[in-house]
Amino acid sequence: MDTPVEDKKPVRRPPFFPKPKKLKAFYIYLEYLIGNAASAMTWPVTSLYLHNYLHQSFFVTGIVLMFGSIVSMVASWAAGLMFDHWRPYHSFLISLFLALFGSLMMFFFHDWPVYAIWLMLLNFGIGMFQTLINSYGSHIAAASPKKFFSNMAIMLNIGTVIGTFFGTWIFDKLNIQGMMFLGIIFYLLMLFIAIIFFRIKIRPIAEIPKNKRELHLHYSHLLLAIGALTMMTYLTYQFWETVMSPHMVSLGMTIEQYGYLWTINGIVIIVFQNWVTKVTSNWSLRKSVSIGTMIFAITFPPLIWADKFWEMVIITIVLVIGEMLFSPGTTTWVSQIVPEQFQGQGMAFVSAAISLGRSIGPLYAGIFMDRGWIFALFMSSFVALVLLDGLVFLLGKKQAI
């Protein structure tokens, strides 16, 4: 007679991708590098494709680019709220799915006006990604945020160099479909990395005991001033991506020489960013941001009379020195000011300020350049940067960081 088999509870199979105990900075750097390479493939050729291939006017092209920046800004705010109040991991996957879906649609449907519609969806996904990746970073880099965000600046520039090089080369050889196919591969790779390594536990506000949480993020005068300064730095930085190429050509320089300036920009940051971070490791964030912005600001008056390539090279190198100080400094400063449970909204605030500056910059520069007001353009930029820098310096006295 068979003996009865003892009832046993079914053994649960281990998950295909085990949940990581912690997220290593390496995977954030890798994801950020690939993400910036993917997004950098799109922006250099967007205006070219809209105007030369889809036969849209410069005005319409400018409107599309402006709306793209506004969409990114809205996406940043949405991502920040989702990170703080909902599920960071699922929010991150949604951002990548949106970017992937937008790229797929642009691969198959790239005529006017559907191209612009799918471009907005792609920008929404990218805008969410930028906020969420920095929000993850602010959580894991609490011990050394300055070093972390300096490394993020390096990854940003490596990704930009890779993306612009391969994106423009493939676009030239295979047109828009070849470029978007490479973007699809990048976003699939990012999804794979996110699914395996980003599934860590981060408590949303709803899980924090009521007696230990604030109801909403308080936007202090210092935080708003840092946001205004960040917006203005990226507004003026847009001059180099928009009006400086035709301006240099009008002075007798070539488009190839203009491209060399971006190569120099990327190389200087990749080689010297960590060195600058080490040299200034004992500086307060207030000092790093204030000095960096001032160095950045003083590069604009010389552009009024600079008419030789070697002068543009010197101006570019000085500008990059300032950028290496203020760019990681502002992000780090905001992460220090904002409470832990609002890191998503804090990073969204930075991303939104950057997107707002990028959306206004081309329009602001275009108004001045169309009228030949070169002196007014560069001097107004210098004055605005100095005034906002001074305001941040004074308000930062109350918070010694």
Confidence of residue 29 (pLDDT cuts 50, 70, 90): very high
Of 21-30, 141-150, 219-228, 305-314, the range with the lowest mean pLDDT is: 141-150
CB neighbourhood size of 216 (10 A): 8
Q: Write out pLDDT tens, residues 130-159.
A: 889 988 888 777 667 778 888 888 888 888
Domains by residue range for the chain, with CATH: 25-201 (1.20.1250.20), 221-398 (1.20.1250.20)
Is-contact 96 191, C-beta < 8 A?
Answer: yes
Residue 314 is predicted with a pLDDT of 95
Q: Write out pLDDT tens, residues 300-347.
A: 999 999 889 999 999 999 999 998 888 888 888 888 888 777 777 888
CB neighbourhood size of 53 (10 A): 16
Give the chain's radius of gyration (CA, Å).
Answer: 23
Is-contact 139 89, C-beta < 8 A?
Answer: no
Q: Write out pLDDT tens, residues 50-78.
A: 877 888 776 777 788 788 888 988 998 89
Identify the residue whose tokens are 């005005």: 59
pTM of the model: 0.76
Report in angstroms the alpha-carbon separations of 173 from 137, 167, 168.
37, 10, 9
Q: How far apart are the first and last CA of the chain?
A: 79
Closest CA to 246 of 366, 146, 143: 366
Residue 256 tokens read as 């190839």
Dist CA 357 CA 153 (whole Å): 18
Of 58-72, 156-170, 195-209, the range with the lowest mean pLDDT is: 195-209
Dist CA 100 CA 41 (whole Å): 14
Residue 2 is predicted with a pLDDT of 53
Average pLDDT, the chain: 83
Is-contact 99 87, C-beta < 8 A?
Answer: no
